[in-house]
Amino acid sequence: MTKSFYGTVLSSPLMLGTAQYPSPDILRDAVKAAQPGVVTVSLRRESAGERAGQAFWDLIQKLDVPVLPNTAGCHTVKEAVTTAHMAREVFGTDWIKLEVIGELDTLQPDVFGLVEAARVLTEDGFKVFPYTTEDLVVAERLLAVGCEVLMPWGAPIGSGKGLNNVFGLRAMRAHFPEVPLVVDAGIGVPSHAAQALELGYDAVLINTAVAKAGDPAVMAEAFRCAVQAGALARKADPMEERDMAVPSTPVVGKAMLA
C-alpha cells in the first residue's frame, strides 16, 4: 500500500535534490528524466545575493514538481527554525526538510537539536521531514513531537557509500510499519536505491549521485528505473535468504543410471 506524506501521495518514490548541477539546463534535463515525486530546494541558494536566485526559482516552478524546501547547512535550532520560516515565505509551502547538522566531517545530524527544532516547527504548523539517523529512540522522539515522516540516512551526505547499516534500516522499517520512511543521504548508484525500496522504504532522496554523474540526465533515468524495480520487488514479496543450496530443478522423476 502506497503511503501518503502528510496526506499527499507522491507520483514517484524518487525525491531529487537540485544542488550542484553544472548548469540550469542540465538540472532541467535531469528532473525530466527522473520524473521525481518531489524536488528539494535549499533556501540559501534561492536567497544568495540580491534576487540572484530568482531565475533558479523560476526554473523550479516551471518543472511543475512539488517542492520540499530544506534547511541545509544549519547547525543550531535557532538557525534551522529561522531558515524554515523564511523558506515557507519564499516557496509558499509548509513542508520542510529539517536538517540540524552536528558533526562537520560526517555531516551527522545533531539529533538533540533536531528533536527540539521539530517540536518548535510542528507547533508552528510545519509539516516536518526530519533528516535523522536510524536510531529508534530518536525516531520515537521525533514522532512524539509531531513528525509524521522519518528520513534516516543511508550513509554520510555525498559519500555514495549506500546503505551502511542495513540491519538498522530494516529494524526501523519493522518498528514503524505505518510511518512513511525515506532513505536520505549516501546513496551513490541506482542499486542502492533499489535496495532501499526492497527493504520496504517508501522513497529515497538523491542529489549528489545524479548531479555529479558524467551524464546527470542518464543517471537520473537510471534511478527512476531503479526505484520502480525496487518497489515492484517489494510488492512481489521476495524470497528469504537461505544458508543452504536448494535445487531449482526437481529430482523427482529424474532418470537415474543403475
Catalytic residue among 3, 97, 127, 161: 97
Was 158 annotated as part of a binding site?
A: yes
Cell numbers found for residue 139: 525516531
Do the Cβ atoms of 83 and 74 come closer than 8 Å?
yes
CA atoms within 13 A on the CB side of 105: 0
- Give the phi and the psi of residue 68 in degrees, each rounded to 5: -120, 100
Block residue for cell numbers 549521485: 209
Was 30 annotated as part of a binding site?
A: no
Was 186 annotated as part of a binding site?
A: yes
Was 207 annotated as part of a binding site?
A: yes
Residue 3 is a catalytic residue: no
Length of the chain: 258
Dihedral angle sign, alpha carbons of residues 59, 62, 63, 67: positive
Was 208 annotated as part of a binding site?
A: yes
* 3-class secondary-structure state, position 148: coil
Binding-site residue ranges: 158, 185-186, 207-208
Active site residues: 97
Binding-site residue ranges for 1-deoxy-D-xylulose 5-phosphate: 158, 185-186, 207-208
